[in-house]
Structure 1
Amino acid sequence: MNSFFQNYNTGKRIILHLCFWFLVLGMQFISYQRIDIDNSWILFLKDVFSLLTIFYVTAYVIIPRWFIPGKFLLCMLWLLFIYAWWSFLSYFGALLTLKYLTPDIRLASYLEIVQSNGIFGAFRLSSLSDYLLDFIFLVALPLTVKIVQAFMSVKNSKTKLELKNAALELNNVQLELAFLKYQINPHFLLNTLYSIYVLVSDRDERGGESMMRLSSIMVYLLHESNQPKVDISREFQLLKDYVELEKLRYSETVQINLNLAADDENCMMVPLIFFPFVENAFKHGPRLSSSAGWISIDIKVKDHKVHLNVSNAYRELSKPENYIGGLGIENVRKRLELHYPHHHILEIKSNEGVFTVNLVVTLLPEEQP
């Protein structure tokens, strides 16, 4: 039944409406013909006009704007209005039939009663029940069909929305799990641990400091990054610790510039948006000779917008067969689409030996201090 109401185009809709009105109005026509074959056509036209106007205004204006949103007081006022509209047309239909036609005794007696009750006869207590029964008999079937169809349409829309939200939640979980899997390069951990081991063995005081930085990174990745939003200042500290540990690997032979600034570090953001771009720069930037390698990281937060620029020297290298790469960057693209739809601009390009990432994120109202 649901697919019957939903799965049809404009042409099928018109055909369906014509068939429906042929049946409904056909029954009305037969009813009047049984009363008076030659003199009931004015009353029939009255019912056709009143029923079509009541149905289409109710179906395409009142139901979507008042009934579905739950504005039931307005719906009751509309019901009162269409009852009055039908009763007025019935009164004038009776007058015209008596004046210009010669109905038989049975129809004439009915019309004389309508005329004697006056234009507000439908609201008199003595005749209210008779008028209401006629009115309900006229509008009940068409309006019931439309109301049922409206309820089914709303239910179908809610079901689709629930399925869409469920799929989005599942996708979100899958993205977060994938991100946790690829959020830090295992080679970085191994190389950093080895560098710290060398420093500690040489009793270099930088060993203890490096150990604390690595510990801070791991605590953040394992615990704090699970939060929906984190302070920008905490993201900045992660990048500072990471860059300082990477410097242990390259000493001073690779130029590394890090600039982090925020007009208010209390603003918040989805965690680990910056990190994949920075890690990627270190993964590929120093692949040139040590003297030619360089990395520049510049992140600014101003007027509730985050501006990131990460660039590095770059050389295209042949990749091994069945190489799978770019997972971190692709994952962060999806996270940006998920958390900042229509609120970010991401540009990634490689030109003349320089790989550049530019990202602008407009912070959401709840992320602004």
Structure 2
Amino acid sequence: MGSDNLWGKWYTPKTRILFHILFWVGVLLLYSFTYERLVGQYYWIFTMSDFVITSSLFYLASYIMPDFVTRGKVFPAFLFFLFAYIYWLNFNYFVCRFALNHIPLSEESLHRYFKIFLKDGYWGVYKLEKMPDFLLDFLYLVSLPLSLKLTKVIFDDAYKLTISERDKLSLERDNLQMELNILKSQISPHFVFNTLNSIYRMAEKLDVKTPDAILNLSNLLRHLLYQTKDDLIYISLEIQFLNDFLDLMKLRYQDSIQIEFNVERTKEPYQIVPLILIPFLENAIKHGPDRSRKNAWVKVELRIQDGELMYNVSNSVNHLAVEHQFGGLGLQNVKRRLDIYYKDRYSLDIREDRESYTIFLKIKLEC
């Protein structure tokens, strides 16, 4: 972005005019040097003739060529080339006629060229047998300025396309980030609502461990407020958050269910998207112990091997209770976030039988 602004500040209309002046001065010097050797003191006539032809075609091409290149208009480009050739033939015919009649030419080859050009009169210049020689002269004259202009048009078009693609990607990133922020903002209220509901049930039973549960909730809220603002956090913080949540669930259910949390910690400073693991654990509680506490259990396994996180969450299933469903705001949210953040770097497998429901999540982590 900085280089774009620098070029925009430097390449002003004034500098553009200066470039054009210097370019055409160079062209005039080239033509003058060439014709001075051929026709002597009358070189300025042919110099100005070629200058008028090339400059007029150059600026005409400047006006219409970008449209041809951008839209790929081959036939209109061919018509322009044909017009330019006919324009050169006509202009050259009258200059040669004037030169042959009024200017003494010392160069025999040039004198012969004029006679060939003027042979058979005005319509003779359009004869097909003369086209190869005339076409070469025409291309030699206009190739330098028009090729430079064509090159600039192609580069400008490519540059605009690059800028357009960059702006498009930037807009897509901004929209994606906005969506991620919305998704992240949905998680916290959803999680807090479920957790407060758990504490409410404890308070309703006058459970003496309710104060401990509230203290545990404060730790969870601290994580939500201060440790989830970044796109990535250390995996150790996310593991601690899971552990605090399970401690709260143990206070709520006490000995009525079995909760197991097995973690193989790593010393590597791997990072993970915040709040990407907790929805699966919430889902296990919601559709396991919350449905039926009879022989209820929740088992969580988390380990990291060769930079890959393996996260398995299982819960008991009672099909005599309300039908089990994998859904809800939290899980729809987390699946969308996995798609956005990790794309092809994660896999999610869900298995269910009559006794258990298990998710297998694998994520390729970053340090």
- Give me the whole-angstrom Cα distance separating, in 2, the residues matched to 1:5 and 1:285: 67
Partner residue, 1:330? 332
Q: Any stretches of 5+ residues in structure 1 without a counterpart?
A: 37-97, 110-132
Partner residue, 1:23? 80
Partner residue, 1:191? 198
Residue 260 of structure 1, CA deviation:
1.6
- Give me the whole-angstrom Cα distance separating, in 1, the residues matched to 2:65 and 2:228: 45
Partner residue, 2:164? 159
In structure 2, do the counterparts of structure 1 residues 26 and 242 end up closer, same or farther at CA, with 3 Å as the change threshold? same
Residue 142 of structure 1, CA deviation:
5.3
| Structural mapping, 1:272-287, within 5 Å | 272-287=275-290
- Give me the whole-angstrom Cα distance separating, in 1, the residues matched to 2:139 and 2:352: 78
| Structural mapping, 1:1-369, within 5 Å | 13=72, 16-25=73-82, 27-28=84-85, 31=88, 104-106=112-114, 137-141=142-146, 143-145=148-150, 147-183=152-188, 184=191, 186-195=193-202, 202=208, 209-264=212-267, 266-314=269-317, 325-364=327-366, 368=367
In structure 2, do the counterparts of structure 1 residues 223 and 165 end up closer, same or farther at CA, with 3 Å as the change threshold? same
Residue type of the alignment partner of 1:191: S
In structure 2, do the counterparts of structure 1 residues 157 and 107 end up closer, same or farther at CA, with 3 Å as the change threshold? farther
> Contact conserved, 1:214 with 1:245, CA < 8 A, in 2?
yes
> Contact conserved, 2:199 with 2:214, CA < 8 A, in 1?
no
Q: Any stretches of 5+ residues in structure 2 without a counterpart?
A: 1-63, 94-108, 118-137
Size of the alignment, in residue pairs? 265
In structure 2, do the counterparts of structure 1 residues 179 and 315 end up closer, same or farther at CA, with 3 Å as the change threshold? farther
- Give me the whole-angstrom Cα distance separating, in 1, the residues matched to 2:266 and 2:144: 65
> Contact conserved, 1:5 with 1:149, CA < 8 A, in 2?
no
Give CA-to-partner distance per residue, 1:19-53, whole Å, 9 cap, x none.
Answer: 413431553366358768xxxxxxxxxxxxxxxxx
Residue type of the alignment partner of 1:238: F
In structure 2, do the counterparts of structure 1 residues 158 and 258 end up closer, same or farther at CA, with 3 Å as the change threshold? same
Residue 153 of structure 1, CA deviation:
4.2
Give secondary structure in 1 for the equivalent of 2:281. Answer: helix
Give secondary structure in 1 for the equivalent of 2:344. Answer: coil
In structure 2, do the counterparts of structure 1 residues 28 and 352 end up closer, same or farther at CA, with 3 Å as the change threshold? farther
Residue 237 of structure 1, CA deviation:
0.9
> Contact conserved, 2:279 with 2:330, CA < 8 A, in 1?
yes
Give CA-to-partner distance per residue, 1:234-274, whole Å, 9 cap, x none.
Answer: 11111111011112222222222211222226322221111
What's the TM-score once normalised by structure 2's chain length? 0.60
Residue type of the alignment partner of 1:286: P
Give secondary structure in 1 for the equivalent of 2:275. Answer: coil
What's the TM-score once normalised by structure 1's chain length? 0.60
In structure 2, do the counterparts of structure 1 residues 221 and 107 end up closer, same or farther at CA, with 3 Å as the change threshold? farther
In structure 2, do the counterparts of structure 1 residues 241 and 265 end up closer, same or farther at CA, with 3 Å as the change threshold? farther
- Give me the whole-angstrom Cα distance separating, in 1, the residues matched to 2:289 and 2:65: 61
Residue 5 of structure 1, CA deviation:
6.2
In structure 2, do the counterparts of structure 1 residues 6 and 182 end up closer, same or farther at CA, with 3 Å as the change threshold? farther
Q: State, as a whole percentage, how many aligned pairs show the same letter.
A: 23
- Give me the whole-angstrom Cα distance separating, in 2, the residues matched to 1:352 and 1:324: 15
In structure 2, do the counterparts of structure 1 residues 344 and 195 end up closer, same or farther at CA, with 3 Å as the change threshold? same
> Contact conserved, 1:261 with 1:301, CA < 8 A, in 2?
yes
- Give me the whole-angstrom Cα distance separating, in 2, the residues matched to 1:353 and 1:333: 24
Superposition CA RMSD, Å = 3.8
